[in-house]
Structure 1
């Protein structure tokens, strides 16, 4: 037999008051528990420089607070993202998740940094920071967007003169005209449902759906360029031509690994290419070889080019970049890559 529940107003006034107080007690208890979790998480992250570096990727609490101060100086009001569907109805929303705000900006800042550094799921972040899942899904894209907009100016493409003035003392003179050292890296995607998206992102080399990003560093080891993400089957030449070729000036040199077929593009701009020589077949067709000069050149370039690989490896210490992403997250990947690159450059350079 179906139970029929009476509406609250049908109860005696004394009972109504008792029920209301009970609900208020439960609500207060839940709020206190959420506050306790937030406070414990904040204390855990800010315990010391080691914990700050572990959970946010920044070197110290001072750097963490300085970046937050820069943001709060630039931003007076935050309009929270509510996803593509709701954004059509509500372009700006002053509260995450569309509810009354229960976190302050600093907690949201920490939540976003922990998400980027540790790659934690939204469920775990909601539990750590004592907020709803819908709030987390609103806070993260909003703060990623604001961090990107404010920090992107700190990724600087230095002039030729600046590059020469900052060359490490140990840098070989014969490669002193190097303007940028380039390499591509890939980030795995979950298999898209759309067939055309599958074809555009499938990497024959990785045997996986992926997006591809071009990274450039200065001879000193600072990140000076981050490209937008491209489908996993895009060629290095294609990305280079679309993203960075216009920045190369006559007399510059670009250092790359084998496979970057860009010598013709650089020749058009009166620039040089430093790339390890390809092996050749031996006479008689048995095996491949390099002559002595080519071996020396290969070793010299490899010893300098390895630093762009080190830079990419350090960037991927931010675990959000090693997670397999949904295709709808990839547009935000460029913003995250720029944020991570800024954090990387706050560390001492790879080469002094």
Structure 2
């Protein structure tokens, strides 16, 4: 055993440590400490040999240490280069994003100082648009794609958002939304005008459609103006209808044909000779909209839409309702203690009595206000063509 150990000692310069912990040599250079690197560890592992109860450690050569240091320095240089490239790419992306937002930002600033321009593109004056934006604002929203839920103080998706985060403010997105409604601009047109993608504009329009529906649906009861406020501002021409609460009528919007024959039949309107959505709308004597029902199938009868809309539940005793002949709902209004005023029916007679003719003319002359309201809806060009 001793002879074998002496032969090893002659062949390799070794440090023999008996019953002592092995202290690995370190190279404390300016750049790196090789004893902490994987490269040096592998070198030392190869140099370690056990002979009996003694352990020998072979020091790496100077050339190996220099090679290890050079490789580590090259890695550091490469990582610094990649980090610099990533930072430059981030700066370029931020500049590109700011440049793409510039057209919409400039357009928004122009609208804020021009009532006529704002009305043309959105249908609202500047102060009205700001009021609608403030009303529609929500704490947290995600793009369309998941089920929207309504929680106290916020409206958000029930799952995590997908895709990139929102780039534009809610006011800017609502501006594009009202441009879509008022001007009937195509999605591609809006996208090209403001350097956006058509898919982004489409998702944004769908998202705000859902949000605004939930927002206005939550205040539908408060939109129905109380009678004492109406009487306080009642126009002179309505003096004969002192207790008037609402003037109602139905309107229809042409829609695309469904692939289902059953739905085609339900949505087909003989009046429009087309598939339509039908809704009930009510206004005050001053022409302000006070009630709007949900959209229903075009073939639904006026009486049925009144029942489905929940309008009767909002009426109070003594309220006066002006309507057309098609609203045969006198039994419903009588149950609430309200009064229904509609033009008289001939009921097999050749003509109306003079009193009935006079009453019919007065009703028709005052019902014109709700028809004006429906006409104002037609100014939103998206309703002038077939909607999806």
Partner of 2:360: 298
Partner of 1:10: none
User: Are the equivalent residues in 1 in contact too, given 2:181–2:382 (CA < 8 A)?
Assistant: yes
Q: 2:336 aligns with which of 265, 269, 285?
A: 269
Does residue 313 of structure 1 match 2:379? no
Following TM superposition, by how much is the alpha carbon of 1:310 offset from its aligned partner in structure 2, in angstroms? Answer: 0.5
Runs (5+) with no aligned partner, structure 1: 1-12, 85-89, 283-287, 327-352
Change (3 A) 1:193 1:26: farther
- Distance of 1:239 and 1:172 partners within structure 2: 29
Partner of 2:206: 141
Is the radius of gyration larger for structure 1 or structure 2?
2
Deviations 1:261-317 (A, max 9, x none): 1122223333221111124656xxxxx422221221111111111100011111221
Q: Secondary structure at the match of 1:301?
A: helix
Q: Secondary structure at the match of 1:324?
A: coil
Q: 1:77 aligns with which of 140, 153, 156?
A: 140
Change (3 A) 1:69 1:257: closer
Q: Secondary structure at the match of 1:295?
A: helix
- Distance of 1:271 and 1:71 partners within structure 2: 34
Q: Secondary structure at the match of 1:289?
A: coil
Partner of 2:253: 187
- Distance of 2:91 and 2:99 partners within structure 1: 12
- Distance of 1:255 and 1:184 partners within structure 2: 13
Following TM superposition, by how much is the alpha carbon of 1:195 offset from its aligned partner in structure 2, in angstroms? Answer: 1.2
Partner of 1:162: 229
- Distance of 1:268 and 1:91 partners within structure 2: 42
Following TM superposition, by how much is the alpha carbon of 1:201 offset from its aligned partner in structure 2, in angstroms? Answer: 0.6
Mean Cα displacement is larger for which, 153-162 or 242-251?
A: 153-162
Partner of 1:131: 196
Following TM superposition, by how much is the alpha carbon of 1:62 offset from its aligned partner in structure 2, in angstroms? Answer: 2.8
Does residue 51 of structure 1 match 2:117? yes
Does residue 258 of structure 1 match 2:325? yes
Q: Secondary structure at the match of 1:221?
A: coil
Alignment of 1:305-344 (within 5 A): 305-326=367-388
Deviations 1:92-120 (A, max 9, x none): 4557xx22443333321211111121122
Partner of 1:278: 345
User: Are the equivalent residues in 1 in contact too, given 2:343–2:360 (CA < 8 A)?
Assistant: yes
- Distance of 1:224 and 1:66 partners within structure 2: 17
- Distance of 1:139 and 1:128 partners within structure 2: 16
Partner of 2:19: none
- Distance of 2:384 and 2:210 partners within structure 1: 20
Runs (5+) with no aligned partner, structure 2: 1-77, 148-156
Q: Secondary structure at the match of 1:80?
A: coil
Q: Secondary structure at the match of 1:146?
A: helix
